[in-house]
Structure 1
Amino acid sequence: MLPTVRELLADQFSAADPLVLAGHSRLGRSVRWVHSSEIYEISPLLSGGELLLTTGLGLAGVDAGTRRHYLREIAGRGVAGVAFELGRTFDAMPPEMVAEASRNGLPLIALRAVVPFIDLCRAANTEIVSREVSALRLLNELARDVTKELAAGNGLAHLLARIGAATGCALIVTSGNGALIAAHGVDDDRSAWAAVEAAVASAPIRARENNWGTLTAGPGSVLDEATLAQVLEQSAPSLGLALTNSSAPTGRPQLAAMTLLADLLDGKPIRQADLKVRGTAAGVPALSGRILVPVAIDAPDARIAARLLDTAAKELGRPGLVGEVHATTYGLLTVERGGADAVGAAVRVLRKSFATNTVDGVTIVVGDPCEFTAVALTGSLQATRAALRLATLHRRDRLAGSPISTCRELATELVVESLPESERTRLIATTVAPLIAWDATHHSNLSRTLEVYLRHGASPTRSATALHIGRQSLYQRLDRIRELLGYDPSDPALAGTLLLALCAHRLAAVG
């Protein structure tokens, strides 16, 4: 919000007929204050950001080296620029001063018309104060808006949108370990990291007295750097509060939930009566007789995962059980009995929850529905854990196009992983080996093309869209695949076998 050297020269200084002699590339510097001085040893009194006006009286009669030293010292204080009124000490700026200013990237301006410095300072400083008042108003209004978002229980996505409306630039939240958590004003992860690399300002985010991460502003803000830094500094604590509030409840219920989930995942025998008592102790007494859908989440921070599950449970309108076991967050969502698709219902509320709390670096797997018995819960939770490991390690979301997967979607991977190594090798060798050899020799990816084609029901339109290619290009690839394999891979009788073989190859390549 502070005016730049360029803006002041074009407006408040126009009557003085300014001419920029050096530092043209630095005219975008913000000016914090404008004042005049004829003292030669002025540099120790400068703190940075000033536009200094002088007639050069303190340089009268000194040699070229002394004049160079004068400008070099001033440039070292980080001033916005120096403007000399011509006609008193200098009829024209000495060339060595122009050269020194240029060498130091210091805007050097010649004022060719005489205007009292008091008039220039009054006009410029009035503009600066006016803009500072506007900046304070902006900060106050933003603080009010962010407080409203927090009071409404909204997450990072809403807060970043509010802050982004004020800054007009990309905003990125990263965790302490460098993971990308959330972003506003960018299209994808690559753009987010590009904004971080070109950061204009940043501020630490603290949560529960710890340095949790960083809020970074990319280039292109409508605010000057100083005001932008103020906005980030003011907003970072609110983000820390949002992260703290997003955590699951602590205390005995949370400990009971974590212990129960850990025992179920370990397959420990639990009597039905004890299961009901432990569910009640975990804060969810009404699980008996309901359909439960397990969910496993890998996230940069357990509080993010807990927030996603909590939002999903509220959307379903029924209590859920959430706990962290071995750095992975698990949950049990309660779905209405008699519904046509309990898994689909869980996926829908999780997608809505994910959209409300948009974050990156999260992988979610929805397990198979089960009854409220220890045996059923153990089997379903263990399968969900295995599926999450596959989804995280092997990045199956590249095929699915979503951070949310289900155990039934990952059934092929789970089956392949359960096969002996010799059986996987035989399966690949007898089905898709020629395709894999061609990909290795020609640096192509026909094996992935075929897997996408089969996963999309052999539909050319859906497959081409998923691969981001035209249908004609897809047909050409399929022709090449048929030629290499020697048989038609679209034969329905071969679909299951080919998917298993292609999945075995993909998992082996990534693993």
Structure 2
Amino acid sequence: MVLTLRDVLDRHLVSADPQVLSGYDGLDNEVRWVHSSEIFEIGPLLSGGELLLTTGLGLAGVDAGTRRHYIRELAQRNVAGVAIEMGRTFDEMPDEMVREASAVHFPLIALRTVVPFIDLCRSANTDLVSGEVDLLRRRSDLGAALHAEMAAGNGAPSILKRLAAAVDCPLVLLGSGNALMAAEGVDDDHSAWQAVDAQVAAVPVGMRGELVATLVAGPGSQLDPAALVSMLEVGAGPLGVTLSLSRELGGLPHRAASSLVSDLLDARIDRRSDLVMRLGAAGFRPSKTARLVPVAVDVPIPRMASQLSASAAKRISAQSMHAQVHATSYALIAPSRPDGDAVTEIVDAYASGSGEATVVVGDPCRLDAHELSSGLVRVRHALSLAVADRRSGNHSEAVTSVRALAADLAVETLPDAVRSELAAAAIGPVIAWDTEHGSELTHTLETHLRHGCSATRSAAALNLGRQSLYQRLDRIRGLIGFDFTAPQTYPGLLMALCAYRAQGRRSADLSRSAD
């Protein structure tokens, strides 16, 4: 571990009563060795980083210019500092040496108590060597742990997790073009990029002379930068081998999962036996009675979607499989409990770490090719609606479900003219008021209906005071002329609101097409 000049003075030279006469800004210089010598022309024999101890005997009888040269040469050799014992050659430090050291910002230290240099050197250098031995031991332990991960057949995420625990800071693995490949110690892709922006160290990850990735360490480690780089270099080798092997094998499990989901979306799998076999090839082996919940994810950095899905599955102790088809990420999740509301459980698991992602959770499906195909197609369609609503500022939830979007999906099957008629007939006056006044009564009405007409939950969702909510609801009631909370009007109003949002999505699509 690195010792600074300040550390050496405080820990090992304190008995010599040191007084820093110049170069205070150099007290954080790294000290690589503590050396004593009386040779005047010692500079060329030093490699940099040494703290030099001397009685000044080699400076006795020389002129002021020669003493200045002595200081200047040590500074040019990047020596950490020089400590001169007072009372043998000099009763006090020569003024020209102090001025020269100050001019070149070089630490010049007077030792005002006589202490055998051998004791000072032994103490400081033992500390330096023990730090280096400790780092070597930690490197050795880490190397053994990472090779055990490789021998167990574990991939880059497991290696990255081990390495992050060893250095105690966030780690991000960047591929070609700075694409985000994996991360550990961060909550989402936004946090990963924050760690990259605030990086403390980075090392290349290569294999057979080819750069395959870059390993970046974010802030937080207690290791000094040099030791941190040293530890990262231990991990770079196993990561390079693992990444290269995955690439040479075509990333078989990941490719198998993506191919499977693609075929299911296109309804190209008929037999249950084929489905089970291909799930196994993707490393996913749910029980015969398991219910699989399809999930579709839209995220700015596609590679982070698998980490998001894996984290959500882990929170509920569920098996999962992740796949990428074109620009959309998918997951199949097999909840550990057959009973209970799996959809709500999975929605909550994703919501705790969704970040900038939009996630739609589908309905549970049996281990049946046709049912799973339909479920994936439905969740893909629902995701496109959720993404469009979020982009248009319709205040949609970041994580929702096919169940919650059932009315939207039904409205999407209607012709444009029917949707327009439905919206105008039920909520036309509310839409007109919003258009004229720039208000959000339409959104308020839908939020209130979707929260079971509970004033408490609606006000919280809209970030309004209850009195403000009541004023809006009174305005809406006056515009449409009937009680919108009545059971017989409730379903029709919700469909009309969905139809109105569908019109907005359609207009946005036409506008993008025109651009």
Q: TM-score, normalised by structure 2?
A: 0.68
Question: What amino acid does structure 2 have at the position aligned with 1:12?
Answer: H
Q: Do structure 1's residue 52 and structure 2's residue 52 form an aligned pair?
A: yes
Q: Using the alignment, how far apart are the partners of 1:248 and 1:286 within structure 2?
A: 28
The residue aligned with 1:214 is 215
The residue aligned with 2:76 is 73
Deviation at 1:124, TM superposition (A): 0.8
1:130-209 equivalences under 5 Å are 130-143=130-143, 163=163, 166-168=166-168, 170-176=169-175, 177-179=178-180, 181-184=182-185, 193-205=193-205
Q: Which moved more, 1:157-166 or 1:9-18?
A: 157-166
Q: 2:402 aligns with which of 376, 385, 407?
A: 407
Structure 2 CA distance for partners of 1:133 and 1:11, relative to 1, 3 Å: same
Q: Using the alignment, how far apart are the partners of 1:392 and 1:230 within structure 2?
A: 44
Q: Do structure 1's residue 83 and structure 2's residue 83 form an aligned pair?
A: yes
Indicate the structure (1 or 2) with the bigger Cα radius of gyration: 2
Structure 2 CA distance for partners of 1:362 and 1:93, relative to 1, 3 Å: farther
Q: Using the alignment, how far apart are the partners of 1:334 and 1:197 within structure 2?
A: 36
The residue aligned with 2:466 is 475
Question: What amino acid does structure 1 have at the position aligned with 2:103?
Answer: E
1:430-445 equivalences under 5 Å are 430-432=429-431, 434=433
- Give deviations 1:6-35, integer Å, cap 9, x for gaps: 221112111222122344344344322222
Q: Using the alignment, how far apart are the partners of 1:253 and 1:40 within structure 2?
A: 68
Deviation at 1:368, TM superposition (A): 3.1
Q: 1:366 aligns with which of 358, 361, 365?
A: 361
Question: What amino acid does structure 1 have at the position aligned with 2:376?
Answer: L
Q: Which moved more, 1:377-386 or 1:305-314?
A: 305-314
Q: Which moved more, 1:14-23 or 1:93-102?
A: 93-102
Q: Using the alignment, how far apart are the partners of 1:398 and 1:135 within structure 2?
A: 54
The residue aligned with 1:10 is 10
SS of the residue aligned with 2:228?
A: helix
Q: Using the alignment, how far apart are the partners of 2:193 and 2:465 within structure 1?
A: 32
Contact 1:215–1:236, Cα closer than 8 Å, also in 2? no
Q: Which moved more, 1:281-290 or 1:45-54?
A: 281-290
SS of the residue aligned with 1:21?
A: strand
Root mean square deviation, CA, Å: 5.5
Q: Which moved more, 1:376-385 or 1:429-438?
A: 429-438
SS of the residue aligned with 1:91?
A: coil
SS of the residue aligned with 2:2?
A: coil
- Give deviations 1:219-260, integer Å, cap 9, x for gaps: 4x3322222222222234556677789999969887676555
- Give deviations 1:26-70, integer Å, cap 9, x for gaps: 434432222245667766655443333355646853279746743
Q: Which moved more, 1:41-50 or 1:91-100?
A: 41-50
Contact 1:394–1:507, Cα closer than 8 Å, also in 2? no
Q: Using the alignment, how far apart are the partners of 2:380 and 2:194 within structure 1?
A: 34
Q: Which moved more, 1:293-302 or 1:225-234?
A: 293-302
Question: What amino acid does structure 2 have at the position aligned with 1:125?
Answer: N
SS of the residue aligned with 1:173?
A: strand
1:93-132 equivalences under 5 Å are 93-94=95-96, 95-102=98-105, 106-132=106-132
The residue aligned with 2:380 is 385
Unpaired runs of 5+ in structure 1? none
Question: What amino acid does structure 2 have at the position aligned with 1:230?
Answer: S
Q: Using the alignment, how far apart are the partners of 1:204 and 1:507 within structure 2?
A: 47
Deviation at 1:279, TM superposition (A): 5.4
Deviation at 1:128, TM superposition (A): 0.8
Deviation at 1:139, TM superposition (A): 3.2
Deviation at 1:295, TM superposition (A): 3.4
Contact 1:302–1:328, Cα closer than 8 Å, also in 2? no
Structure 2 CA distance for partners of 1:331 and 1:93, relative to 1, 3 Å: same
Unpaired runs of 5+ in structure 2? none
Contact 1:142–1:166, Cα closer than 8 Å, also in 2? yes
1:447-486 equivalences under 5 Å are 455-459=450-454, 461-462=456-457, 474-475=465-466, 477-479=468-470, 481-482=472-473
Question: What amino acid does structure 1 have at the position aligned with 2:76?
Answer: E
The residue aligned with 1:223 is 223
Deviation at 1:290, TM superposition (A): 7.3
Q: Which moved more, 1:156-165 or 1:125-134?
A: 156-165
Question: What amino acid does structure 2 have at the position aligned with 1:474?
Answer: G
The count of aligned residue pairs is 483
Question: What amino acid does structure 2 have at the position aligned with 1:171?
Answer: P
Contact 1:31–1:80, Cα closer than 8 Å, also in 2? yes
Q: Using the alignment, how far apart are the partners of 2:248 and 2:276 within structure 1?
A: 16
Question: What amino acid does structure 2 have at the position aligned with 1:475?
Answer: R
Question: What amino acid does structure 1 have at the position aligned with 2:362?
Answer: G
SS of the residue aligned with 2:465?
A: helix
